[in-house]
């Protein structure tokens, strides 16, 4: 029987919490607000299924373009193409520098 090639194929480590991070996520992470132009890191929070982006983009860094409802549009560069990701703030980490 061939192995599955669904959208979550090969994401065992990306979509799994570390043992100390298990359970619900901190609420302040889900309500954090970003301004247009902020640099953010894309990091899927496995505890929050809504507002996820495709796991292929996990670990990328991008720039917040705008807010869309409760989510944010983030522009990233994938190879040589510029792409727009729509995700909720639970999956974004502000770049500190």
pLDDT tens string 32-85 = 999 999 999 999 999 999 999 999 999 999 999 999 999 999 999 999 999 999
Strands (E), 23-90: 39-42, 61-68, 71-78, 81-87
Distance set, CA 16 to CA 13, 45, 76 (Å): 5, 8, 24
Give per-residue burial for 27-54: e unless 16+ CB within 10 Å, then b.
Answer: eebbeeebeeeeebbbebbbebeebbbe
pLDDT score recorded for residue 23: 86
What confidence tier does 91 reach under pLDDT thresholds 50, 70, 90? Answer: very high
| pTM of the predicted protein model | 0.87
Residue 24: per-residue pLDDT: 86
């Amino acid at each position: 029987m061939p192995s599955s090639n669904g959208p979550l194929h090969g994401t065992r480590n990306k979509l799994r919490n570390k043992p100390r991070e298990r359970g619900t996520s901190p609420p302040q992470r889900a309500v954090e607000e970003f301004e247009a132009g902020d640099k953010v890191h894309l990091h899927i929070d496995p505890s929050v299924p809504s507002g996820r982006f495709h796991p292929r983009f996990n670990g990328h860094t991008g720039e917040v373009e705008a807010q869309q409802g409760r989510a944010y549009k983030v522009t990233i560069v994938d190879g040589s193409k510029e792409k727009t990701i729509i995700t909720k703030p639970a999956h974004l980490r502000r770049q500190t520098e």
